[in-house]
């Protein structure tokens, strides 16, 4: 007969600390790639033991918000490093070769969001979004056609020139220039037939089977900040996934 609240009010101390650290990350107190204070410093700051801070950091490291490096410190995760480049891009060539990929931006325009886009981004239909269309090339051949929708309020100043000028992963640009950090995403994958618009861009026959990948990316606090819809030509590549 005891009341069981849906959202428990009393969290263990280490989880409260994890929440405070997350709030500091969200607030920009520590920048991506930089070290956060040492465990002993944080313990003093929050008036808890080092072990409690350790457990809080363990959680955030498991969620890929932080990266621990023995002897050096604990660092804010970043998309700007080579290591994390394939954390969100799961398409790999069938022969396992490490191809370098290039890209081309086809379009970048502001627009009113469709109902679907507005719902995915959790914004009112009256709030403008930016739509970006791009092609990814593996070894010179087009393999991925991506459409991105971004809330304009978070990405003021993003233009095709800015996109084309930046080297490196898009999420690196987002976190560096706009302070928007992607920390997780949900994808919906299905097989579709290439339509008249996509087929020539991907250089496949109309009706050819393509992988459709819809992704909503989230920042701190599970706030959606990007909707992405990709069409993958999987003739010589596949989407790799690990179940555990």
Partner DNA sequence: ACGCATTTGTTCGTATGTATT
Partner DNA sequence: TAATACATACGAACAAATGCG
| Residues within the interface to DNA (CB under 7 A) | 10, 12-15, 35-36, 38-41, 48-52, 54-55, 68-74
Residue 208: φ, ψ to 5°? -65, 145
Query: Exposure of 73 by Cβ count < 10 A (0-12 exposed, 13-18 middle, 19+ buried)?
Result: middle
Min CB(103)–a copy of itself separation in Å: 20
Q: Which is nearer to DNA, 35 or 201 (CB)?
A: 35
Q: Concatenate the DSSP letters of all residues of 87-98 into one string.
A: SS--EEETT---
Q: Which is nearer to DNA, 40 or 106 (CB)?
A: 40
Question: Any long-range contacts for 47-50 (C-beta under 8 Å, 24+ apart)?
Answer: 48/13, 48/17
CA distance 229 to 21: 32
Binding partner of residue 74 among a copy of itself, DNA, none, CB under 5 to 8 Å per kind?
Answer: DNA
Min CB(48)–a copy of itself separation in Å: 18
Binding partner of residue 207 among DNA, a copy of itself, none, CB under 5 to 8 Å per kind?
Answer: a copy of itself
Min CB(190)–a copy of itself separation in Å: 4
Binding partner of residue 52 among DNA, a copy of itself, none, CB under 5 to 8 Å per kind?
Answer: DNA
Binding partner of residue 15 among DNA, a copy of itself, none, CB under 5 to 8 Å per kind?
Answer: DNA
Alpha helices, H only, 47-169: 50-62, 115-121, 160-165
Instruction: Say which residues have a Cβ less than 8 Å from residue 77's Cβ, sequence separation at least 6.
Output: 32, 64, 65, 66, 67, 84, 183
CA distance 3 to 215: 37
Q: Which is nearer to a copy of itself, 59 or 160 (CB)?
A: 59
Q: Which is nearer to a copy of itself, 4 or 165 (CB)?
A: 4
Min CB(207)–a copy of itself separation in Å: 7
Min CB(164)–a copy of itself separation in Å: 26
CA distance 237 to 93: 4
Binding partner of residue 156 among DNA, a copy of itself, none, CB under 5 to 8 Å per kind?
Answer: none
In the complex, which residues of this chain contact a copy of itself (CB under 8 A)? 62-64, 87-88, 90, 183-193, 207-212, 215, 232, 234, 237-244
The single residue listed with the structure tokens 């250089």 is 203
CA distance 123 to 120: 8
Q: Which is nearer to a copy of itself, 97 or 244 (CB)?
A: 244
Binding partner of residue 203 among DNA, a copy of itself, none, CB under 5 to 8 Å per kind?
Answer: none
């Amino acid at each position: 007969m005891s009341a069981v609240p849906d959202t428990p009010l009393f969290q263990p101390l280490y989880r409260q600390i994890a929440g405070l650290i997350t709030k500091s990350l969200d607030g920009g107190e520590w920048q991506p790639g930089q070290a956060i204070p040492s465990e002993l410093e944080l313990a003093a700051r929050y008036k808890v033991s080092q072990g409690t801070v350790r457990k809080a950091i363990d959680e955030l490291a498991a969620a890929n918000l932080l990266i621990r490096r023995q002897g050096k410190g604990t660092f804010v995760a970043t998309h700007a490093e080579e290591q994390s480049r394939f954390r969100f891009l799961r398409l790999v060539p069938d022969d396992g070769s490490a191809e370098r990929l290039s890209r081309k931006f086809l379009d970048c325009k502001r627009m009113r969001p469709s109902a679907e886009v507005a719902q995915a981004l959790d914004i009112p239909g009256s709030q403008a979004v930016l739509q970006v269309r791009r092609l990814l090339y593996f070894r010179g051949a087009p393999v991925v056609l991506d459409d991105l929708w971004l809330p304009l309020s978070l990405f003021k100043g993003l233009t095709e020139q800015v996109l084309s000028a930046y080297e490196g992963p898009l999420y690196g640009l987002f976190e560096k220039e706009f302070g928007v950090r992607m920390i997780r995403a949900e994808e919906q994958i299905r097989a579709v037939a290439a339509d008249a618009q996509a087929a020539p861009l991907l250089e496949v026959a109309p009706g050819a089977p393509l992988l459709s990948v819809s992704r909503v990316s989230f920042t701190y606090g599970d706030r959606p900040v990007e909707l992405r819809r990709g069409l993958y030509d999987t003739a010589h590549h596949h989407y790799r996934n690990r179940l555990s």
